[in-house]
Structure 1
Amino acid sequence: MVASPKAKEAMPAPASRPAAAGGPPGEDAADDTDDTASTIGSLPSSTASLSQSIFEYRKIFGRTYHSDVGNAEAWQPNDARHAEAMDIFHHLNTLILSGKLYTAPLPKKIQKAVDIGTGTGIWAFDFADEFPEAEVIGTDVSPIQPTWVPPNLKFEIDDLNLEWTWPDNTFEYIHSRSLIGVVEDWEGFYRQAFRCCKPGGYVEDVSNSVMAFSLDGIVKEGSALDQWGKVFFEGGNKFGRTFKIVEDDIHRKCMEKAGFVDIVIKDIQVPVGAWPKDKTQQELGIWAKMALESDLEGYVNYIWGVVLGWTPEEISTYCAAFRRELKNTRIHGMYTTRVAYARKPE
């Protein structure tokens, strides 16, 4: 079920930086914006032939990205460093969900499930282990998943923003996670999910808000933590992919419009840093801090540098300030993780 790349309009010229610009990002925010593609080996596929461009990566600020950088899924790098950061986030998300991979009330036995935008494939891998009798598919535009997988799991190259080619009523469970800044049309996303979901089946998404806050007001306006969400919001507007998934209540509105019922929305406040006194919350905060610090530049380079026009020096300065605030236990930063699931009527 491979989709050929979709033609994209040219990216707009870099926008001017927000007035409140700060700066630390590091050695990775380098000076080269080399677009030279590096070809990787072919990936086995049981579906349509792949365009060679899918197997070509581009270098931006010394990092590799999916070849079609105007694509909805291309704002994060696909190199080994960022893959490690995504796997750390996977562990963090399981802690947030109390050790679970999902919250939808799935039956003990399901036949077919799909993980849309699977990334490194770690969630699909764990889900396939938990449901050994189910056929599990993980899809992504970059072939960065492991080659050794459980016998009931396979990975496919696919762009979630193109028309889904699965037949109607294919999956009992459709899972996605961290698609902020990725989906071009959330109404279209859930419309396709509704079509491909079996009657009685579930769709579920986990998204993290990029807005930092503190219950005690210690995250000050203009601080690096405060700027994080604001700059991503502006970048999303320029990029054409919203980062306001939680703030605009995207899941509820689009699930309802698609026809899903029994919609459940749960917001979880996640600390960032080792400041909480409660041991469980402190563990969450330490892992959240680790997930961000493991590749902070990877999260900001494309949106902030390519889209908004920040220089490598400005990005580096901002990232240094951001790291200092993460280490300061007097700053009680938090963000919201939203878990949303819904059922397709029988």
Structure 2
Amino acid sequence: MAIEYFRHAHHHTDRSDMDPNDPYHSDDDGTSSDTSEDVIEVPQDEIPDYFQERDGRLFHSHGSSPYPLPVDAEEHQRQNGLNTLLRRLIGDLFVGPVRELLAFAPGEQRRVVDLGTGTGQWVLDMAREFPHVRFHGVDIVPIATRYPPHNVRFEMHNIMEPFWYANGSVDFVHARSISMAIRDYRALLQEVGRILRRGGLFVSIEWGRFPAMEDGSDVAIRAPRAYAFFSAIRETLRVRRGIEPIASSIPRFLEETRQFTDIQTQRFQAPIGEWPTDPARKEMGREFREMMILYANSMKAVLQEGPFTLLADALVEGYIRDISSVPGIVSTCFTVHARRV
């Protein structure tokens, strides 16, 4: 049985003469040709080659990608849980004028690319809401569903490398929680600008790398173990993988490209723990704490590879104690949306 997952063929493609209405030299219906030299189907027996096991957890096997988190069932649970919680936090599947942009127009095929698609849940939710839109979910490993709906295709690609989409062929690029998979975000934005059509939309959603206190007090004093955990994570990612925290810098990066306009930002704070008095926020805080416990356990593997190896267990346990006992801890979500000039 065929597995509907695709990857880029390993050869140079000159994108300058590609049809901007079709990112794959595709057939008239917008689907890839069976004889395309650019995107090929992944045989079922090759799927295990994209993974490696370490200390009982499953990771990607792509040596050049800095992405540190596991890609196993426990991580899938966290990603899908965060997808649901984020939708509640921001009030929708996205920020910005997405419905206006993706509105049905006779004779036009709208296209959306989701970078770092993970389990593909966002793409699947969007595909149900916009059945006339063609969605491409991109990730370094094949962990999304292998049998997507008719308007979805999942593809394997390292987002640190140039995309194979044609110039000006995409209406909307969605990038959520990809900052640990990319070392040069500015270079990524240049590629995003290349594939977006004029007036196309870019949306970034990133979580901050440090917790905060809802009342603005010093988290290092109020929740010192949580602060120590994220300090160690930040230093390990910087030293071992060349990853810097960039969530709050993305608007400036967009400005520097000179390819984007109407850059708009928002910040949302998600409670961690059951301390809120409002019932809806209390429930969100409880569920978000569960997601952060999964995150901490996944990040233990990162801490064990750097200067905090001997402290990894204590740092994780201390963080979990703080988010289980200290009221007022929040996580900040930074959103940005901008139009292609």
What's the TM-score bracket when you normalise by the shorter of the two chains?
0.7 to 0.9
Amino acid at match of 1:83: H
Amino acid at match of 2:285: G
Alignment equivalent of 2:7, drawn from 2, 5, 11 = 2
Within a 5 Å distance, the mapping from 1:1-346 to structure 2 comes to 2-3=7-8, 47-48=39-40, 55-73=49-67, 75-98=68-91, 100-106=92-98, 107=100, 108-109=103-104, 111-214=110-213, 215=215, 217=217, 219-221=219-221, 223-246=224-247, 249-258=248-257, 259-302=259-302, 304-311=303-310, 314-328=311-325, 330-345=326-341
**8 A Cα contact 1:186 1:250, kept in partner:** no
Report sequence identity in percent: 19
CA–CA distance in structure 2, aligned partners of residues 149 and 185 of structure 1: 31
**8 A Cα contact 1:54 1:141, kept in partner:** no
CA–CA distance in structure 1, aligned partners of residues 116 and 332 of structure 2: 21
- Post-superposition shift, 1:224? 1.7
Detail structure 1 runs of 4+ shifted over 6 Å in the superposition.
none
CA–CA distance in structure 1, aligned partners of residues 283 and 265 of structure 2: 24
**8 A Cα contact 1:276 1:285, kept in partner:** yes
276-285 vs 125-134, which deviates more? 276-285
1:231-280 Cα distance to aligned partner (Å, 9 max, x none): 2221221134434223xx32111111221000001011221111011233
Tell me: CA distance 1:49–1:160, structure 2 relative to 1, closer, same or farther (3 Å): same
**8 A Cα contact 2:229 2:316, kept in partner:** no
CA–CA distance in structure 2, aligned partners of residues 114 and 254 of structure 1: 20
Amino acid at match of 1:316: D
Amino acid at match of 2:82: F
Tell me: CA distance 1:105–1:149, structure 2 relative to 1, closer, same or farther (3 Å): same
123-132 vs 285-294, which deviates more? 285-294
Query: Gapped runs of 5+ residues in structure 1?
Result: 6-44
263-272 vs 101-110, which deviates more? 101-110
Amino acid at match of 1:62: G
- Post-superposition shift, 1:81? 1.1
Identify the residue that residue 15 of structure 1 maps to in structure 2: none
SS at match of 1:103: coil
SS at match of 2:39: coil
Identify the residue that residue 38 of structure 1 maps to in structure 2: none
**8 A Cα contact 2:220 2:227, kept in partner:** yes
SS at match of 1:244: coil
**8 A Cα contact 2:9 2:38, kept in partner:** no
Amino acid at match of 1:168: N
SS at match of 1:306: coil
SS at match of 1:2: strand
Q: How many residues align?
A: 299
Amino acid at match of 2:77: E
CA–CA distance in structure 2, aligned partners of residues 2 and 318 of structure 1: 38
Tell me: CA distance 1:226–1:295, structure 2 relative to 1, closer, same or farther (3 Å): closer
TM-score in terms of structure 2 length: 0.81
Normalized per residue, the structure richer in helix is 2
CA–CA distance in structure 2, aligned partners of residues 232 and 207 of structure 1: 16
Tell me: CA distance 1:137–1:53, structure 2 relative to 1, closer, same or farther (3 Å): closer
Amino acid at match of 2:297: E
CA–CA distance in structure 1, aligned partners of residues 119 and 164 of structure 2: 22
CA–CA distance in structure 2, aligned partners of residues 150 and 139 of structure 1: 16
- Post-superposition shift, 1:344? 0.7
Query: Gapped runs of 5+ residues in structure 2?
Result: 1-5, 11-36
**8 A Cα contact 1:3 1:50, kept in partner:** no
Tell me: CA distance 1:70–1:196, structure 2 relative to 1, closer, same or farther (3 Å): closer
CA–CA distance in structure 2, aligned partners of residues 309 and 4 of structure 1: 39
175-184 vs 195-204, which deviates more? 175-184
CA–CA distance in structure 1, aligned partners of residues 339 and 274 of structure 2: 37
Amino acid at match of 1:89: L
CA RMSD of aligned residues (A): 2.5
